[in-house]
Amino acid sequence: MIPLKANWYAVYTYPNLERRIHSELVKQAISTYLPLQKVLRQWSDRIKELHVPLFPSYLFVHIHDHERVNVLKVAGVARFVAFEGRPAIISTDEIETIRKVESVAVELEPSLLSGDWVQIMHGPLAGLKGILFKKKGKTRFGVQLNGLRQALSLNVCVSLLKKL
């Protein structure tokens, strides 16, 4: 008998429960991934570095089809991300892209124009291709994640980019 292949799936959670759900899934020996990003938050008396979900209300599980029901039983899990009624399978390449992106924040080359296709040439994101765009007046590097039908955006260092 051929063993069933495990796939990555995106799970939609109720707001601000990603960490608790991640911990519960780990306790149940379910392979899970909660991408986090570092952000600075300012209060009236201090500035603090926090680790917040890269995709608020989402986390990823690496499971076999028959294990989906176990994930849905965890309090706070709303549903699997699905398209056309079928749970969306997230490719391993997309998971690896997220792993690379979650800890990087650098700035863009000013000579590149919004809409240009570029490739990162050096560093942990080497080989990643994306498009430049403007958001709130700042130029950003965008990566499309087809499995989620979402995009990631980040700042990238001038010396790392090459126009395609």
Clarify whether residues 146 and 126 are in a common domain.
yes
Quick check: 113 pLDDT over 80? no
By the 8 A CB rule, do 132 and 113 touch? yes
Quick check: 159 pLDDT over 90? no
Q: Which of 90, 117, 137 is the last residue of a domain?
A: 90
Residue 141 located in a structural domain = yes
Quick check: 36 pLDDT over 80? yes
Structural domain that includes position 100: 92-164
Q: Which of 57, 90, 123 is the last residue of a domain?
A: 90
Max distance between CA atoms of the chain, in angstroms, equals 62
Return the structure tokens found at 15: 């707001």
Query: Model pTM?
Result: 0.64
What's the whole-number mean pLDDT along residues 108-121?
65
How far is 91 from 61, CA to CA, in rounded Å? 12
pLDDT tens for each residue of 43-73: 667 777 778 888 889 999 999 999 999 999 9
Return the structure tokens found at 22: 């991640």
How far is 151 from 42, CA to CA, in rounded Å? 26
Residue 66 located in a structural domain = yes
